[in-house]
Structure formats: C-alpha cells, structure tokens
C-alpha cells in the first residue's frame, strides 16, 4: 500500500485489530521511506487471505470457522462470551498482522492454542486434541461423520 505522505510503496503493517461489528480491520502502517505512520480501515473481505489446509488445498479465510472451533472447545466451560469474543479479536488481529496472502491452518491452530492456553485449560486441551487428531485420516473421518449427523 502506498504511503499517503511520500507516495512510496514500502509501507508495512505494524498492528492490526478487528473493528467491532463492521467486519473490518484497523491497521496501523509504517512507511519505511519517510518513517510516518498512518491508519487504514480495510474490509475483511477485501483483504485477500487464503488458508492453506493440511492437504495443501486453499480456501478463503473465514472467521466463523475459527470461532466455531473455539466455541466447541469452550462448550460448557465457565467462560463469558465476551472473553471469547475478545480472544477471537486478538487471534484475528494476529492473523491479519502480516501482509501475507496465505496462512497455513497449522499456524492458525497454533495461534488459537497460544490464546486458549491463557484462557482455560480444559478448552485448551479439547482444542489441542481435536487439532492433533485431524492429522490422522481415520479420526478425521469420524469427526466428519459427527458433523454430518
């Protein structure tokens, strides 16, 4: 993205965070040419981000998929929904903090686990076990069947 001050193209993202209810990301950017900072608001759907799955297939980034994995892990745990929302925002901020156009599902899983670890041990273990089991084809098929039912 071009710097609005000096029009050079070498700017980089120094901080990203989701803006509540607008489905957009607020980004602080730094221009390496003139050293100035500026803020952009970018619609999530306008930021190209593909998730590389374990089978190397790509799919478009989808917040709700990550969120549903987290909600499953937090099922019946004494965690206020606001805490989960807050954590989800932090996770999404981290995911969008690079300007890479692709991120691996493995990396996303790691980011989620880092955050869950601080939130709730049981939720963390649940998420981690699901996440690891997905490496095994037969358990993955079992999980899939459960979702189908």
Minimum Å gap between C-beta 13 and Zn ion is 14
Scan residues 17-56 and list those touching Zn ion (CB under 5 A): 31, 33-34
Minimum Å gap between C-beta 9 and Zn ion is 9
Scan residues 69-98 and list those touching Zn ion (CB under 5 A): none
What does DSSP say about strands 50-52 and 102-104: parallel, antiparallel, or unpaired? parallel
Minimum Å gap between C-beta 37 and Zn ion is 9
Q: Nearer Cβ to Zn ion, position 5 or 134?
A: 5
Minimum Å gap between C-beta 35 and Zn ion is 7
Asked if residue 24 lies in contact with residue 44, where contact means CB atoms within 8 angstroms, the answer is yes
Binding-residue total with Zn ion (CB under 5 A): 6
Residue 5 as a binder of Zn ion (CB under 5 A): the answer is yes
Asked if residue 53 lies in contact with residue 140, where contact means CB atoms within 8 angstroms, the answer is no
Q: Nearer Cβ to Zn ion, position 31 or 84?
A: 31
Q: Nearer Cβ to Zn ion, position 12 or 77?
A: 12
The encoded tokens of residue 41 equal: 């608001």
Residue 6 as a binder of Zn ion (CB under 5 A): the answer is yes
Site for Zn ion, rule CB under 5 A: 3, 5-6, 31, 33-34
């Amino acid at each position: 993205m071009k710097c609005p001050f000096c029009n050079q193209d070498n700017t980089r993202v120094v901080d990203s965070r989701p803006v509540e209810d607008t489905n957009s990301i607020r980004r602080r950017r730094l221009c390496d040419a003139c050293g100035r900072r500026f803020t952009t608001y970018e619609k999530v759907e306008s930021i190209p981000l593909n998730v590389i799955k374990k089978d190397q297939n790509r799919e478009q980034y989808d917040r709700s998929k990550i969120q549903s994995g987290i909600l499953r892990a937090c099922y019946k745990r004494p965690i206020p929904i606001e805490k989960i929302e807050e954590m989800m925002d932090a996770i999404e901020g981290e995911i969008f903090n690079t300007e890479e156009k692709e991120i691996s599902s493995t990396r996303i899983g790691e980011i989620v686990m880092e955050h869950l670890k601080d939130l709730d041990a049981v939720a963390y273990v649940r998420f981690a076990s699901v996440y690891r089991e997905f490496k095994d084809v037969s358990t993955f098929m079992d999980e899939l069947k459960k979702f189908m039912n």
